[in-house]
Amino acid sequence: MNVHHIEDSGENVPENLVTMCVACHAVLHIGRNLDLKVIEIWKSPISQIEIVQKTRAAVQQGLSLADINKQFKLKKGPHSPDSLLYANELVHEMGQEPRAYLAEPLCAVFVNLNRWQIE
């Protein structure tokens, strides 16, 4: 689990912190994570929750992220999967309300994580 600030005040008090899985946290910081090549955005017939669960199990079995992502039957969306255009478009669509998920059938897949981040 990751810890995320609810408000951008920077206050590290329990009332301003929430735990969330690494995938949800990656989506909340989608622009930065696309820029750092941590995630890519694809269309998938598999839900984001299933992707996270299957990724976690496969990492524990020692599979690479590239091999794991091959099993998801991913399809390109309107932009390149690592495009910052995705971030701009998706953030605009989300509006002012922060949310840690993408509208289906879009999903975030991990392409560059340290092992501890997904186990």
Domain of 34? 21-117
Flag residues of the chain having pLDDT under 50: 116
pTM value is 0.76
Rounded Cα distance, 25 and 109, in Å: 12
DSSP of 38-90, one letter per residue? Answer: SEEEEE-SS-HHHHHHHHHHHHHTT--HHHHHHTT--B--SS-TT-HHHHHHH
Residue 60 inside a domain? The answer is yes
What is the pLDDT at residue 49? 84
Q: Answer yes or no: is 49 within a domain.
A: yes
| Residues, the chain | 119
* Residue 14 placed within a domain: no
β-strand partners of 20: 2
pLDDT given at position 114: 64
At residue 116, the pLDDT reads: 47
- Residue 92 lies inside a defined structural domain of this protein: yes
